[in-house]
């Protein structure tokens, strides 16, 4: 399917959704489709492998992968501090992703 989608991507408007719960397949698809953007859900509640997903999901420049933790942010708190808890959860995920990218030599400006 990934190779078929890659063939449809003549205008750079096709991306793939690959779950963080299957990081080995994510790495394999990245090798097959090095330039395509990936949406990578499954971090957090689904217990996807963050480090393996970042390493295997990004392109050669450390880009083209959106790592998602929807429930981890949405349900960070059920109390009045929801907004702050959601913000902190999102920042923690961002920081963890950036640490992994940094070890791979992919610093963000």
31-64, pLDDT tens digit by residue? 999 999 999 999 976 777 999 999 999 999 999 9
CATH code of 22's domain: 3.20.20.70
Instruction: Please tell me the predicted confidence (pLDDT) of residue 63.
Output: 96
Q: Say which residue, 47 or 98, is predicted with more confidence.
A: 98
pLDDT digits (tens, 9 = 90+) for 73-88: 999 999 999 999 999 9
DSSP string, the chain: -HHHHHHH-TTS---EE--TT-HHHHHHHHHH-TTS-EEE--SSTT---HHHHHHHHS-TTS-SEEE--HHHHHTS-SSTTHHHHHHHHHHHHHHHHHHHHHHTT----
How many structural domains is the chain composed of? 1
Has residue 109 been placed in a domain?
A: no
Q: Is residue 31 part of a domain?
A: yes
Average pLDDT, the chain: 93
| Domain of 16, in residue numbers | 2-103
């Amino acid at each position: 399917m990934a190779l078929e989608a890659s063939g449809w991507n003549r205008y750079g408007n096709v991306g793939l959704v690959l779950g963080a719960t299957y990081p080995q397949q994510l790495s394999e698809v990245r090798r097959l489709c090095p330039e395509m953007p990936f949406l990578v859900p499954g971090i957090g509640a689904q217990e996807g492998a963050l480090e393996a997903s970042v390493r295997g999901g990004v392109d050669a420049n450390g880009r083209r992968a959106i790592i998602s933790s929807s429930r981890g942010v949405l349900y960070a708190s059920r109390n009045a501090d929801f907004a702050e808890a959601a913000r902190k959860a999102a920042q923690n995920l961002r920081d963890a992703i950036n640490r992994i990218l940094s070890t791979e030599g992919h610093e963000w400006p």
